[in-house]
Chain A
Amino acid sequence: MIKHLAALLLLSVLGALFASLLMGYTPDPALNPTARYYAERTAPDLGAANLVTAIVISYRGLDTLGEVTVLFLAAAIVGLVLAGSGSRSGSRPGAEPGAEPGGNDQPGAANPGRRGAPVPVGELLTTGSQLLTPMMLLLGVYVFANGHLTPGGGFQGGAILASATLLLLLAEPLTRLSHRLIAGLEALSGLLFVVIALLGLVLAGGFLDNRILPLGTLGNLFSAGAIPLISALIGLKVGAEFSSILASLSEAEES
């Protein structure tokens, strides 16, 4: 009870803080200097139509490199944490996902049924995944290839690619994705990302400079220098990382 009261007290203080922030908030009448710089200089300097992609990939590209590394680290740790769980069949969590909140820890509740036989997936899911998976892959590629023109970019496209993987895993729960393929794809795209970034140091103004390729005309698919290339690499890398997380989680559940 004391715990609840303390939590409520803390939250009411926080809520009062938020309320004062909300009351005192007035939107800026114009862009702040940083945003103004991005809005004015993106088209002449980088040739990208989508300012958000230009910021993520070029202006703050170093952060993106770090972020992709963080994501890789998360995927690696998920794989590491879940790796040991497959060997001990006795300590496998029960197949019932709707366990009682608050935790039922009586040892007899470990339901032994349905171990080898997974729940059969429906006809709809099987057929739908066969129909939709290629389209989702195509959409993912479209989203990251057009990241410099339309809403989208490497991360969004990569997430769509990974959702195709998720659908595949849902439709066929016993599928084992090739970890070697995923890791190879991820390593290759990460390496190429860094190579392109270093090329910017040699051929253009600095690390991650996108002007190693011609800027083209604003709004064309082949424009904005190396941005579509980097976008595609980020998309592949993020897709591979998310897929590896999904595969790790799925295999932990199955084994």
Chain B
Amino acid sequence: MPDLTQIALTTGFLLILIGFYGALTKPNLLRIIVAFTLASTGVNIVIVAVGYLRGRTAPILDATFAAGEAAARVIDPLPQALVLTAIVIGLGTTALMLAYAYQLYAKRRTLDIAKFTDLKW
């Protein structure tokens, strides 16, 4: 019986692989952007899963345990804070990629990445 951490880590790693596969093989820019968001979701899941400790509760102090024994009762809050940051930045980069893709389509009338050969060597 795999525990929660194993499942979450496997899911995250698979999402990263799927995302990289899409980004490397798909020709359509929009699909590449979706693939990137998949990969970054996978990274977020992996980071959160690493902070999970078995049998502990969310990192919020409340009445169910005394504040003094918090260190023995809560999971690691640091990965969650990191991922919170990463999600927001991920949204910013996705919006940026979409804006660039829009402008590329407006200028070249195509989203096929093989047609953009300006920087090819």
In the complex, are the beta carbons of A105 and B10 less than 8 A apart? Answer: no
Q: How far is the CB of B5 from chain A (nearest CB, A)?
A: 6
CB of A245 within 8 A of CB of B17, answer no
How does the 8 Å CB contact mask read for B63-92 relative to A, with 1 for contact and 0 for none?
A: 100011011101011101100110111011
Q: What's the nearest-Cβ distance from chain A to residue B60, in Å? A: 5
In the bound complex, residues from chain A placing their C-beta under 8 Å from that of B52 are 27
* Minimum CB distance partner of A53 in chain B: B81
Q: How long is the Cα–Cα vector from A29 to B5 in the complex, in angstroms?
A: 13
Give every chain B residue within 8 A of A21 (Cβ-Cβ). Answer: 9, 13
Residues in B whose Cβ lies below 8 Å from that of A71: 88-89, 92
Contact of A31 among B9, B53, B98, B102 (CB under 8 A): B53
Structural contact, A92 and B106, CB atoms closer than 8 A: yes
Q: What is the distance, in angstroms, from B68's C-beta to the closest C-beta of chain A? A: 8
A67's contact among B21, B51, B85, B103, by CB below 8 Å, is which?
Answer: B85
Within the assembled complex, what's the spacing in Å between the Cα atoms of A14 and B21? 11
**Which candidate, A55-63, A115-123, A172-180, is the interface stretch facing chain B?**
A55-63
B88 engages A31 (CB within 8 Å): no
Asked if residues A238 and B88 are in contact (CB atoms below 8 Å), the reply is: yes
Which residues of B sit under 8 angstroms from A144, Cβ to Cβ?
none
Alpha-carbon gap, A44 to B63, bound state (A):
15
Q: Is B120 an interface residue (CB 8 A)?
A: no
Interchain nearest-CB distance for B63 vs A (Å): 8
A55 lies within 8 A of B92 (CB) = no
Q: Is the CB of A248 within 8 A of B99?
A: yes
The residue on A at minimum CB distance from B100 is A81
Contact flag A22-B102 (CB < 8 Å), given A40-B71, A52-B84, A103-B28: no
- Inter-chain contact B24/A7, CB cutoff 8 Å: yes
B interface, over-half SS: helix
The residues of B that contact A49 with a CB separation of less than 8 Å are: 60-62
Q: A155 contacts B88, CB within 8 Å? A: yes
Bound CA–CA A36/B28 (angstroms): 46
Closest Cβ of chain B to A55, distance in Å, is 4
A129 interface contact, C-beta 8 A: no
**Out of B67, B87, B89, which one reaches A43, CB within 8 Å?**
B67
CB <8 Å contact, A103 and B71: no
* B5 and A52 contacting across the interface, CB-CB below 8 Å: no
| Neighbouring B residues of A25 by C-beta, 8 Å | 5-6, 9, 50
- Nearest 9 A/B pairs, CB to CB: A103-B112, A74-B92, A105-B110, A7-B24, A103-B110, A51-B59, A51-B77, A18-B13, A55-B81
Residues on B lying within 8 angstroms of A by beta carbon are 5-6, 9-10, 13, 16-17, 20-21, 24-28, 31, 50-54, 58-63, 67-68, 70-72, 74, 76-78, 80-81, 84-85, 87-89, 91-93, 95-96, 98-100, 102-103, 105-112, 115
29 pairs of residues in contact across A and B, judged by CB atoms under 8 Å: A11-B17, A18-B16, A27-B5, A27-B53, A27-B54, A35-B76, A35-B77, A39-B59, A39-B70, A39-B77, A40-B71, A49-B60, A49-B62, A50-B60, A51-B61, A56-B81, A71-B92, A74-B93, A81-B103, A85-B103, A91-B106, A93-B105, A93-B106, A93-B109, A101-B26, A105-B110, A105-B115, A153-B84, A219-B61
